[in-house]
Amino acid sequence: MTTFTFNEEQREAIGGILDERMQIPISIEVWARKDGALVRTDRPACVHCEDQLRLARMLASLHPGLSVTHYDMDKFERRAEEFGIERPPFTILRGRNGREVRVLGFWTGTLFPAVVDVITYLSQEESPYSEASKEALAKVDRDIDLHVYGALYDGYSAQMLRMTGALAAESRHFKVQFSEVMEFPDIAARQEIETIPVMLLGGRRFIGVWDEDSLVQQIGHIAAGRDDVVTLAQTGTAPYFTEADIERMQAEQATDTEPRRTESGLYLPG
């Protein structure tokens, strides 16, 4: 288990963001599993379960409007199946009126500040989108599934987590999940992921980061039942790497171009 904590400067920075933006309480549900000493061949080990639960509790300690509920996947196996949770660590950021964002994997790295932003969006039940976009999204009257696959080292992935999380804050009709696939190479292989981020939207597959106008326009097409596909003038992608790939590259050559972070790899706001 990785051990890390916030220093005083980090606590003040993150707590200040929460104090400024939080309006209604948000529940952070963490589904985890404590692996025993015996290695089981019928399921993969949950390498970051304890890390994820610790990070969620650390974050919740910074604001009274945040709470953490821990569900043991073994004790609540039937409930996990009902919720469609197949493996840990799995987090549900739960607001009210059916607004929620689901995250598979350990949301550290560039994903951490994105998760903080999504929590504040859900707490406000409002996105930072333009008024024109909000008016367009208000016309969506049926559920739309969005699933983004990304990685904790990738800024484009974090941007897509923010953008899709903001949709869930705008309307309960947006069913949003983000999967951190650096931790789960089997999922990446099954989805044939070579570059990230990848988004599944309304049954269609899209690669790369989207801007607000294009994403809202594509959602409008799907909500209206049209097959039109928005063509992006330019999109950003990053190569997909597994944890083993990252560890090997770090061992071969240290880089001095990474964003400021803690020893655990937790990227911090600003």
**pTM for this prediction:** 0.89
Q: How many domains does the chain have?
A: 1
- 217 touches 230 (CB < 8 A): yes
Tell me the CA distances in angstroms from 24 to 65, 112, 219, one per residue in order: 7, 20, 27
Tell me the CA distances in angstroms from 194 to 39, 103, 114, 153, 184, one per residue in order: 30, 20, 23, 15, 13
Is 264 inside a domain boundary?
A: no
What's residue 258's pLDDT? 55
Strands (E), the chain: 26-32, 66-72, 90-94, 100-104, 144-150, 174-180, 195-196, 198-201, 204-207, 238-239
Tell me the CA distances in angstroms from 29 to 50, 68, 101, one per residue in order: 14, 6, 11
Q: What is the pLDDT along the chain (270 residues), one digit of tens a residue?
A: 455 688 999 999 999 999 999 999 999 999 999 864 444 556 678 999 999 999 999 999 999 999 999 999 999 999 999 999 989 999 999 999 899 999 999 999 999 999 999 999 999 999 999 999 999 999 999 999 999 999 999 999 999 999 999 999 999 999 999 999 999 999 999 999 999 999 999 889 999 999 999 999 999 999 999 999 998 877 899 999 999 999 898 888 765 555 555 544 555 444
Is 234 inside a domain boundary?
A: yes
- Give the phi and the psi of residue 157 in degrees, each rounded to 5: -65, -45
- Give the phi and the psi of residue 150 in degrees, each rounded to 5: -155, -165
Is 262 inside a domain boundary?
A: no
How far is it, in rounded angstroms, from Cα 19 to Cα 141?
33
Task: Provide the CATH number for the domain around residue 133.
Answer: 3.40.30.80
Q: Which structural domain, as residue segments, surrounds residue 137?
A: 8-252
Is 267 inside a domain boundary?
A: no
Is 257 inside a domain boundary?
A: no
How far is it, in rounded angstroms, from Cα 104 to Cα 107?
8
- Burial class, 246, CB count within 10 angstroms (exposed 0-12 / middle 13-18 / buried 19+): middle
What's residue 264's pLDDT? 46
- What tokens were used for 172? 């309960």
Is 269 inside a domain boundary?
A: no
- Give the phi and the psi of residue 72 in degrees, each rounded to 5: -80, 120
Is 261 inside a domain boundary?
A: no
Is 115 inside a domain boundary?
A: yes
- What tokens were used for 198? 């990848």
